[in-house]
Structure 1
Amino acid sequence: MDLISEIIGTMRVGSAGARLIRQTDRRGVRFSAFSGSGFHIIRRGTCWLITEHGEPVRLGPGDVVLASSGAAHGLRATPCALADLPEVVPGPFPPEPGPADFEFLCGAYRLDHGPAPQYLSALPDLIALSPKYERTPRLRTLIDLLAADVAADVAGTAPGTGATLPALLDLVLAEVLRQWYDEQDVSGRPRADDPRIAAALREIHENPQRAWTVAQLSSAAAMPRTAFTRRFTTVVGVPPMKYLTTRRLSRAARMLRESDAPLAAIARQVGYTSEFAFSAAFRRVYGTSPGSFRRTPVLLAGH
């Protein structure tokens, strides 16, 4: 199973946004917690990543901060308490003119309905990464393209941003996740690509419409049921049946956004025997009915 592709695919049901922020005073900025995932890329200058409980982390040009599941955080030229930072005003605003201590590019998917993917929720709340640009120059190219797209959008000279911005966010986020996974020390703990768990995940992803049981999934993984449930929960972060439900509804959310298929047809394709059962499950997770979710447009929104 391609874990990163699954993460990106789930995030696409959210609202995509990006902007360049220039810190022209020394007060810093605070990003409140939100449902979704985002990143900052330091373009010029140096600053500190401020979190609620951890020690400040110094950042320089090229460094990336990944807010995997939208945790609150801040950036400032000098360390301070998170509560002392003024909250950033969301919106597609142009960067402030004048000299700046530092500037950074923001990108985010905001999920107005539904949870972030379990794999993102299982990551550390905030990840500071110094990418190896000399080994993967494509990341620098993608960042430059995203910065150019944001600048052209602010200037009003970028028709088609609605298509290009989400695509660039996908590519940058995928590359950042790939580099972070590559740098992890996985000795002594299960990996997300554990072959037995991957076999069960593959069955869920390829055949969500099947009436799966834990016994059937453990058989696909060639493991005893109890050991499978324990290992699956450790690797994925949630028990098998909860993951199955979330995966079914995530796929349904994408189908609602990307197709005109009737609700009854979508219900069958994701494993529900009736439109009523599907609608009830969807509302429990996404907080709205499938019809309302479909009618709500996905907007480009400033981070």
Structure 2
Amino acid sequence: MDVLADVVSAMRTGPATSGRTDIRAPWGLRFTQAAGATFHLVLQGSSWLLLPDGSAPVAMGPGDAVLLPRGLEHSLVDHPESPVVEFDPSVEVYEQGSGARSLLLCGTYLLDRDRPHPMLSKLPEVMHLPADPGRHRTLHTAIGILGEELDANRPGAAAVVPALVDALLVLILRAWLEDRSCPTESGWSRALTDSAVARSLELIHAEPGATWTVADLASDVGLSRAAFARRFTEAVGEPPLTYLSRWRMTTAARLLRDHDRPLATVAKEIGYTSEFAFAKAFKRDFGIAPGAYRKQLAVSGT
């Protein structure tokens, strides 16, 4: 079980949206708060990312990627002093200036923001991954291919681009976590690289409905109960069974969203012996009964 891929899959609530933006200096684009995670790739040229809180501008060059996990309002500009206009995703070529050209790919990943996974909720507001030739080759190769496909507009690009955009979310998250991997610090970068913690997460994600105990998980990863519980809690930020309960509810929400299985079947898949017990636990976590939650999603179209 690939825990990172499983978390991203569970948190996504719809397809990514993205658009090519071809623009010449001087230029500035303002992006409003998004209902998901906003991303930008600088395929050609350069850009500055500005935040409304007045924090230091982030300089971006060719091949750079930036992800704003909570869709924070921001601006992209060719220079921090350039005037800005509202970004319009339907506009591919802006006629703001006649100077140096920049080619951008801007988009949004729809994510469950009501009950985010702790891996995502603890990310910073802005994640900037510069185009370092010595690191994250897969990510930067994908960005390079995207740039070629969007600039050349060759046959098949309409199939290639969406697939690469979908993959980018995992590639950006993986690169960010790898850069911060440290065995002595807490956090999900450690959780995914600590062999014992990572293995226990794989077990939980592979079989969320199993009757796991702390002793079972500890035995499976070759640690004492106390040592395992301590390592897991330090890395993940909560005890093993608390995380198990969280993941069961996250899995239930995904099943309700993506499938039409009976509630009793969903309850059994995530480890509940009765539909009533499952419904009570789900309502405690989500504030709504599972049947009503499914109907709500159907009405909203998510």
Give the TM-score taking structure 2 as reference length.
Answer: 0.75
Distance in 2 (alpha carbons) for counterparts of 1:71 and 1:284: 29
Q: Secondary structure at the match of 1:265?
A: helix
Aligned pair 1:188/2:161, yes or no?
no
1:113/1:287 contact within 8 Å kept = no
**Larger Rg computed on CA atoms:** 2
Choose 223-232 or 192-201, whichever is displaced more. 223-232
Q: CA deviation at 1:63?
A: 0.8
| Cα distance change on mapping 1:185 and 1:208 into 2, 3 Å | closer
Distance in 2 (alpha carbons) for counterparts of 1:71 and 1:146: 28
Match of 2:80 in 1: 79
Distance in 1 (alpha carbons) for counterparts of 2:165 and 2:273: 36
Choose 262-271 or 102-111, whichever is displaced more. 102-111
Could you list the runs of 5+ residues in structure 1 that have no partner in the other structure?
none
Distance in 1 (alpha carbons) for counterparts of 2:124 and 2:231: 20
Q: CA deviation at 1:215?
A: 4.3
1:262-281 aligned at under 5 Å gives the runs 262-281=262-281
Matching residue's letter, 1:291: R
Aligned pair 1:210/2:210, yes or no?
yes
Distance in 1 (alpha carbons) for counterparts of 2:285 and 2:150: 34
Aligned pair 1:169/2:165, yes or no?
yes
How much identity, in percent, do the aligned residues show? 34
1:42/1:102 contact within 8 Å kept = yes
Q: Deviations over 1:200-232 (max 9, x none)?
A: 212211221123344443444444445434432
Q: CA deviation at 1:176?
A: 2.4
Distance in 2 (alpha carbons) for counterparts of 1:223 and 1:54: 45
Distance in 1 (alpha carbons) for counterparts of 2:198 and 2:75: 36
Q: Secondary structure at the match of 1:254?
A: helix
Distance in 1 (alpha carbons) for counterparts of 2:227 and 2:165: 38
Q: Deviations over 1:14-70 (max 9, x none)?
A: 453222345676454144264x33321113332222233642211112210022343
Q: Deviations over 1:60-102 (max 9, x none)?
A: 122100223434443223337xxx977656xx52335324564
| Cα distance change on mapping 1:109 and 1:274 into 2, 3 Å | farther
Matching residue's letter, 1:199: R
Could you list the runs of 5+ residues in structure 2 that have no partner in the other structure?
none
Distance in 2 (alpha carbons) for counterparts of 1:145 and 1:277: 53
| Cα distance change on mapping 1:239 and 1:131 into 2, 3 Å | farther
| Cα distance change on mapping 1:28 and 1:169 into 2, 3 Å | closer
Distance in 2 (alpha carbons) for counterparts of 1:87 and 1:227: 53
Matching residue's letter, 2:295: S
| Cα distance change on mapping 1:124 and 1:97 into 2, 3 Å | closer
1:57-206 aligned at under 5 Å gives the runs 57-79=58-80, 88=87, 92-99=89-96, 102-111=102-111, 114-132=114-132, 135-136=137-138, 138-140=141-143, 142-144=145-147, 147=150, 165=162, 167-184=163-180, 186=182, 188-189=184-185, 191=190, 192-206=192-206
Matching residue's letter, 2:172: V
1:10-89 aligned at under 5 Å gives the runs 10-22=10-22, 26-32=27-33, 34=35, 36-51=36-51, 52=53, 54-79=55-80, 88=87
Q: Deviations over 1:238-257 (max 9, x none)?
A: 33233222311222233233
Distance in 2 (alpha carbons) for counterparts of 1:88 and 1:183: 31
Pairwise CA RMSD of aligned residues? Answer: 3.8
| Cα distance change on mapping 1:218 and 1:184 into 2, 3 Å | same
Q: CA deviation at 1:7?
A: 3.1
| Cα distance change on mapping 1:198 and 1:27 into 2, 3 Å | closer
Aligned pair 1:282/2:285, yes or no?
no
Q: Secondary structure at the match of 1:253?
A: helix
| Cα distance change on mapping 1:72 and 1:98 into 2, 3 Å | closer
Distance in 2 (alpha carbons) for counterparts of 1:272 and 1:168: 38
2:23/2:95 contact within 8 Å kept = no
